Amino acid sequence: MPEPSPSARVAVAERPTGLGRRTDAMLRGLLVMVGLYHPLLAAWMAVRLGGGLDMMVPAMAASHVLLCLLCLIEHRAGRSLHAAVTFLAGELLLLVLAYGYWGLAAQVRVQMVQLVPVLLVAAVLGSRPLAWTTAWLCGLMALGAWVDAAGALFRPDRVLHAATDLAVSAFGAVMGAWLFHHSVTGLRESLQEARQRSQELARKRDELQVEMQERERSRDQLVHAMKMDNVGRLASGIAHDFNHLLALIQGYVAKARRSEGEALQGALQGADSATRRASAVSRRLLDFSRLEPGRPQLLDAAATLVALAPTLEQVFDAGVRCEVDTGGVQRLIHFDPAQLESILLSLAVNANQAMPHGGRFTLRLQPPDPDGRLVLQLQDTGQGMSESVRARCLEPFFTTKPVGQGTGLGLSVTASLVEAAGGAVQVHSRPGDGTRIDLQFPSRPLAA
């Protein structure tokens, strides 16, 4: 009989003290059925034959019951492999008594019930135990045929009949052993392949999780880079605000030096107010430039745009007019405020570069559609884009700017952040007609 495949040997080597969960369950059920079969058969024969019952029948039945009970106790103790070996050895010894006492012809009717459990357990233990068990059974059948022939004083017709029973029984045992071997080996190989595939899928899953985490970190770094780029572009406007605030503070301090009483208190309050405004500007700039993971929250879309309007005006040149129109829309969106500010500043910078000779930039809220999607519309009167450029403008690293003036990540990162929030980005543009970008967000009504 052929040796098991390497995968089957590995599967057996990995379970030195057990046979696997499903095999354990099969062995437990087999022990119960065999333990019940022989006492029931003995009882039936006792009822049928009455006082003529051969005493060997209840003895064999009791032996089977004790053997099965012993194996079940070992199985429950976690020694399923030891229980299988004990069952196989005990059954083979009991079959020696059966074939040697009753002969082969008496076993033909119940031969399948006797041999199938033995061959099945031997096949589970491996190819070598199965081969030795098959050879042992064939030897027992030869012994039984000899007993049958000797009991008939070796009459030619009885010898022929015994030889026929031996040939049929031995062929059936060998064929059953062959079928059990290939079935169990095939199941083991399939189980091993399934385990290998499961391990491979687990490894691929871990690699995918690592890749997703790397992509998240890369996206966060890109968002931070876009923030820092916007901070650099806002530096001149922030400096202008600071100069204005510092001039106010200096004016209030000079006034305080010349004043007394209530006028002095008013000047000090004005200086304190200007200082707080300057601190708020610097704190907002620092908060905006931090590298932190996104923290989405419910935002009042209209209030957010109104608060951002003064900062947007710092982006545009003197010849560009910036308009913010909320349209009376009162809706909430779920988005990170710092990321939204970064997106709008980046798009505003692009719009300013598209209008070198001046123009108009409009940021407006459109009423929600029937699905509740709120559209944040950004439109400029710049040079516009050709159809080929518009079709690729959302691709990462695609840019039409000269080297050193653009990375091609602004619109790509914008689309990624908006889509992650369940929204969408649409770009409408034609050469000479400007560009309109629609940011669509899921929204909900503003609570009263």
CATH number of the CATH domain containing 330: 3.30.565.10
Domain presence at residue 225: no
pLDDT of residue 398: 63
Running DSSP on this structure, what letter comes out for residue 106?
G
Domain presence at residue 384: yes
- 191 and 77 in a common domain: yes
- 201 and 299 in a common domain: no
pLDDT of residue 244: 53
**416 or 320, which is more confident?**
320
Domain presence at residue 263: no
- 337 and 200 in a common domain: no
- 153 and 28 in a common domain: yes
pLDDT of residue 442: 92
The radius of gyration of the chain from alpha carbons, rounded to an integer in Å, stands at 44
Query: How many other CB atoms sit within 10 Å of the CB of residue 139?
Result: 13
Average pLDDT over residues 159-171: 84
- 147 and 41 in a common domain: yes
CA–CA distance, 193 with 208 (Å, rounded to integer): 22
- 162 and 300 in a common domain: no
pLDDT over 50 (residue 11): no
- 171 and 44 in a common domain: yes
For the record, the structure tokens of 293 come out as: 């993971």
Domain presence at residue 219: no
CA–CA distance, 115 with 177 (Å, rounded to integer): 10
pLDDT of residue 51: 52
Say which range, 14-23, 177-186, 207-216, has the weakest mean pLDDT. 14-23
Residue whose token pair is 């959302």: 394
pLDDT tens readout for residues 347-380 = 888 888 888 888 999 999 988 888 888 999 999 9
**The domain boundary residue, chosen from 205, 220, 235:** 205
pLDDT of residue 1: 40
Q: Decide if 133 contacts 177 (C-beta within 8 A).
A: yes
Backbone angles phi and psi of 57, in degrees to 5: -65, -55
**375 or 278, which is more confident?**
375
* Domain count of the fold of the chain: 2
pLDDT of residue 12: 39
pTM tops 0.85, yes or no: no
Domain presence at residue 267: no
Running DSSP on this structure, what letter comes out for residue 315?
T
- 316 and 192 in a common domain: no
pLDDT of residue 250: 63
pLDDT tens readout for residues 72-107 = 777 776 777 787 888 888 888 888 888 888 888 877
Domain presence at residue 359: yes
**251 or 117, which is more confident?**
117
- 310 and 178 in a common domain: no
Q: Decide if 149 contacts 159 (C-beta within 8 A).
A: yes
pLDDT over 70 (residue 261): no
- 430 and 321 in a common domain: yes
Domain presence at residue 264: no
Average pLDDT over residues 211-225: 78
**The domain boundary residue, chosen from 205, 221, 240:** 205
SS3 65: helix
Average pLDDT over residues 20-41: 74
- 308 and 194 in a common domain: no
Torsion, Cα 436 442 444 445, to 10 degrees, reads 10
pLDDT of residue 448: 46
Where does the pLDDT of residue 10 fall: very low under 50, low under 70, confident under 90, or very high at 90 and above? very low
pLDDT over 60 (residue 179): yes
Where does the pLDDT of residue 407 fall: very low under 50, low under 70, confident under 90, or very high at 90 and above? low
pLDDT of residue 3: 45
- 47 and 195 in a common domain: yes
pLDDT of residue 361: 92
For the record, the structure tokens of 233 come out as: 């572009």
pLDDT over 60 (residue 240): no
For the record, the structure tokens of 104 come out as: 């082969």
Whole-number mean pLDDT of the chain? 76
SS3 36: helix
pLDDT over 70 (residue 416): yes
pLDDT tens readout for residues 99-149 = 888 888 877 777 777 788 888 888 888 888 888 988 988 888 888 888 888
Q: How many residues does the chain have?
A: 448
SS3 429: strand
For the record, the structure tokens of 416 come out as: 């990624």
CA–CA distance, 1 with 119 (Å, rounded to integer): 14
pLDDT of residue 259: 67
**282 or 313, which is more confident?**
313
Residue whose token pair is 């990995």: 14
Average pLDDT over residues 263-279: 64
- DSSP conformation letters of 122-153: HHHH-HHHHHHHHHHHHHHHHHHHHHHHHHTT
CA–CA distance, 88 with 133 (Å, rounded to integer): 9
Domain presence at residue 303: yes
Q: Decide if 285 contacts 319 (C-beta within 8 A).
A: no
CA–CA distance, 421 with 423 (Å, rounded to integer): 6
Average pLDDT over residues 416-440: 87
The range of the structural domain enclosing residue 354 comes to: 295-445
pLDDT tens readout for residues 286-311 = 554 554 556 788 889 888 888 888 77
**The domain boundary residue, chosen from 205, 227, 254:** 205
